Every structure is written in structure tokens, then in C-alpha cells.
Structure 1
């Protein structure tokens, strides 16, 4: 297999693995990756502006609103406005949800341990470096494309 064909094969495999990873992770936790990211971010913050949460997680504003409405309806979060600024919507995790999320960390750890089962420390380290390089290459490719479009 030539270099070009191998790169295409690897790209397609990365896409496939990403789909399987997200699907497997979501099925273990009964929630979408976006929803899990939202809950994790809220666990880290006492309260946060909805707009800041949306920017931090890089989720479409309409999508974050949908997720938050569903989480609010199920009693997991509360959204509110402060007296000094009625325009901004604040979000916080309800106490009962914090307990459930912390319990889910055990399941998350088990999923991750199983995901990387039979990898040596050396293989994990090498894989980490490779993934970091792919991320860097993606960032550079996006910047180059934006530069070409704007310049």
C-alpha cells in the first residue's frame, strides 16, 4: 500500500473508531457526549453563564439550549437570572445530580480501562504523542485554510 492510500485508510479508520468510541461511551452512560461534557463542566463550576458554557464546550448555541432545557426538565440543572442582570442566563448543577455524576466516574474509569486494555505503558505513551501530532496537524490545516480564505 502506498503512502497516500495508507493515509486515506488511517483517516477513514480514525473516523470509524471515533464513531464507535462515542457510541460505546454514550451507551455506557445513557447520555450523549455533548451532554456528558456539559455535566462535567458544570460539576467543575459552581455556576456559569450559559453563553460561557457554550463557548467553553464549543457547542452550537441552539444545541446547548436544547440540552440545558432537557436537563432542567429532568431536574439535573437549574437555569436562572440574577437580579443585577436579567439578560444573562446562569446555569448550575443540582446537588442530586452531583452525586450521580460522581458515581458515574467509576463506570467511566472502567470503560477507559477496558478501552486501553493490553496496551503497554510504552504503547500508550507513543499513541498519546501520535494523537497530539494529529491534533496539531489539524489545527495547522484549519489555520492555513482560514488564512487562504481571508488573504
Structure 2
């Protein structure tokens, strides 16, 4: 693949990302990062901001910004570790669990698929993108 083809591929990925994240935010009311944060917390339970940063592969400042917004909306709570005051534990609230369940139910009810791809194509794309990120 020459440089021009690589450039085209990367640009198409950028455009696809913009379009799909906009559709996701319109459907759920959450940014994809905040949604993933809440899902991770729901699935794993309370954890430190450092764990969130590592799991979601975003910098600490971004984690803090997202958590501040989620905390203001009462989707998460943050508490300092009593044994180590520098460490902050984050926990998803019942309001967040309810909002996530609502999003999932709406998605199931509408059988909404924002991707113009088959399930097999979606799995293949996910595998390829995961490979690129690693």
C-alpha cells in the first residue's frame, strides 16, 4: 500500500468514527467514552481512576474530565481511598445502571443497527480495529 492509499484509509476511518460516534450519542445521550466508562464500572465494580485510565486507554486528565461530568449528572460517585488519600475510587450509581439498562432495552426493541454491516462484518471489523490498536 502506498502512502496515498494509507492516507485514504486513515481518512475514511476518521470520517467513519465521526459519523458513528455522532449517531451513538444521539441514540444514547452519552458520549461513547462515558458510556464505556459506565459499562466498565457496572461490569467490574468500583475501581480506581488509574484502572479506568488503563482499561480505556485514555490519559488521566481525560478520565478526570469524563468522571466530573458523570459525577455532576449523578451517574458515578468518587471517594478517596482511606488508606491512600492520593487514590480515588469510582463507583457507578443506580441512576447509571438504570440509564444503561434503558439504552440496552431501547436498542433491543428497535433492533437498531447504526452500521450498514452484517453481524459477521461487524465482528470482523472489531477484530481488525482491535488488532490495529494493539
CA RMSD of aligned residues (A): 2.8
Aligned counterparts of 1:76 and 1:139: Cα–Cα separation in 2: 28
Instruction: Specify every segment of 5 or more residues in structure 2 that has no aligned partner in the other structure, as ranges.
Output: none
TM-score by length of 2: 0.79
Please tell me whether the aligned partners of residues 23 and 114 of structure 2 are also in contact (alpha carbons under 8 angstroms): no
Query: How many equivalent pairs are there?
Result: 133
Output one character per residue of 1:93-147: Cα deviation in whole Å (capped at 9) or x when no partner. 112221121111123446774334674xxxx4356436534653x358xxxxxxx
Residue 75 of structure 1 is matched in structure 2 by 74
CA deviation profile, 1:13-34 (whole Å, cap 9, x unmatched):
2321121111111111122111
- 2:95 and 2:126 map into 1 onto residues whose CA distance is 36
Partner of 1:125: 120
In the alignment, structure 1 residue 98 sits paired with structure 2 residue 84: no
Q: Contact 1:25–1:111 at 8 Å: present in 2 too? A: no
Query: Does 101-110 or 65-74 show the bigger shift?
Result: 101-110
CA contact (8 A) 2:46 2:90 kept: yes
The answer on 1:62 being equivalent to 2:61 is yes
Give per-residue Cα distances to partners, 1:34-84, cap 9 Å, x unaligned. Answer: 111111111112200111111111111111111111211221111002322
Larger CA Rg, structure 1 vs 2: 1
Structure 1 unaligned regions, length at least 5: 141-151
